[in-house]
Amino acid sequence: MRLLLLFLIIASAITTSYAQDITTRFNEAYQRTDQNFDIDCRYSFNQSFKLMTPLSQTIKGKDYIKRDFLIESETKSATMSFNLQKKDKNFEYTIIFDGKHSSQGNLSRRDFYIPPVNNPQFASEFETSKIYCFVNFAYSAPHVITDGDYHINVHPHKSYDWQSLLKLPVEKYLNDQNYRSLILIETGNYRGNLVNINDVLNGNDYKLPQSNYGGTDLENVPLDVPIIVAPAGHSRYIFKANSELNVTFTGGNHNYCIWNNTRFILESLMRSKSEAKINIYYDTKSLVAQIKGMEKVGINFPKKDINQSNLLNSLLKNQKSRDNYHLNYHYYFKQFFFKEFIGMFKTVKLSYDAEGFRKEDIIHGNGTRELEINLIYLY
């Protein structure tokens, strides 16, 4: 009797852990995210250390949204208040620094460098021309990442894994308690542009078109695994690791969405004071790719190879395309990515480790941190 009772308890626990259908969980994540909004600002291409940190959540008033930030340099700090309000037929934003210096403009697009500040000395000292702001609607909030081992499954949709190759290896990661797993699901890029700002400011309900990316093969997904809406892999992170962060990627596509998410993880490091080591692992037997990656980056694969199998492990067996692929993937990070954050580090030791292609570089900046980043392929 006791054995039967124990069996029923275990069976009940297993059933409960997967109680909710994964498609339902996806739809709930979409619905929650469609109602999100925030203001976010950061430095881009700053030449010396400049850190921007939110001091509050985005606040919605009767006819405005606003958010306060703290700007830090190596020796000084200042506050920045961003306020967006409707004026006649326009949406006007006003940015106030330290309660006295100002910049303002009319919102014509959702992301922009801020206009000149009315105090040239302050503008020069804090490099305000490098401040890039985003008025985000229908976009997931940043996810906090700390020290430890993460597994990030990107876009487990049938439209990506059209040969159903990834279910077993991905679910093995999702159920491995040694990892903190995240699932990133797809939606239309720039989905927030479908949101009417008037509706947000006036408190009116709005409903965006339903997202549908061909379902998923996943079934056994623990309820404690967060599901995050991440168009093209664009998901923001708040970097709280102090020692070492390990991230293993599965899913697709390695040469677009996962490439993007790699950038967002590294960007979160650059937008922090941390000196934590980052190891990013690409499990080639648990990843798929597409014919073309990011435009002009050159991380592409031949169509005939993709038609046979889009599993990354299979695609990399073509030596010619493999060598070119790794060359371009590595070249982007070495030559382009870190230049956007040149004031945020003294050196970055960048290691790229793949079968038949191994590179190690030291990238120099104008800051004080000495960082180490390793991109590692698993076979």
Distances (CA, A) of 200 to 34, 116, 141, 320: 11, 28, 17, 51
String of DSSP letters for 51-97: EEEESS--EE-SSEEEEEEEEE-SS-EEEEEEEEEEETTEEEEEEEE
Specify the domain boundaries for CATH 3.40.50 within the chain: 143-378
Q: Spell out, as residue ranges, where the chain has pLDDT lower than 70.
A: 1-19
Burial class of residue 106 in the structure, from the number of CB atoms within 10 Å of its CB (0-12 exposed, 13-18 middle, 19+ buried): exposed
- Say which amino acid occupies 185: I
Give the tokens for residue 331. Answer: 């070249």
Per residue in 110-165, pLDDT (tens digit) is 999 999 999 999 999 999 999 999 999 999 999 999 999 999 999 999 999 999 99
* pLDDT for 17: 52
How far apart are the C-alpha atoms of 268 and 272, rounded to whole Å? 7
d(CA 340, CA 99): 29
d(CA 310, CA 99): 55
Residue 101, strand partner residues? 97
Closest by Cα among 96, 348, 322 to 104? 96
Distances, alpha carbon 203 to alpha carbons 65, 206, 343, in Å: 11, 9, 40
pLDDT score for 212: 83
Residues 256, 217 contacting (CB under 8 angstroms): no
Question: Residue 213: its pLDDT value, please?
Answer: 87
Burial class (CB in 10 A: 0-12, 13-18, 19+), 304: exposed
What secondary structure letter does DSSP report for 231?
Answer: G
Q: What CATH code is assigned to 143-378? A: 3.40.50
Q: What's the length of the chain?
A: 379
End-to-end CA gap in the chain: 47
- Which among 377, 110, 142, 163 has a CA at the least distance from the CA of 288? 163
Q: Give me Rg for the CA atoms of the chain.
A: 22
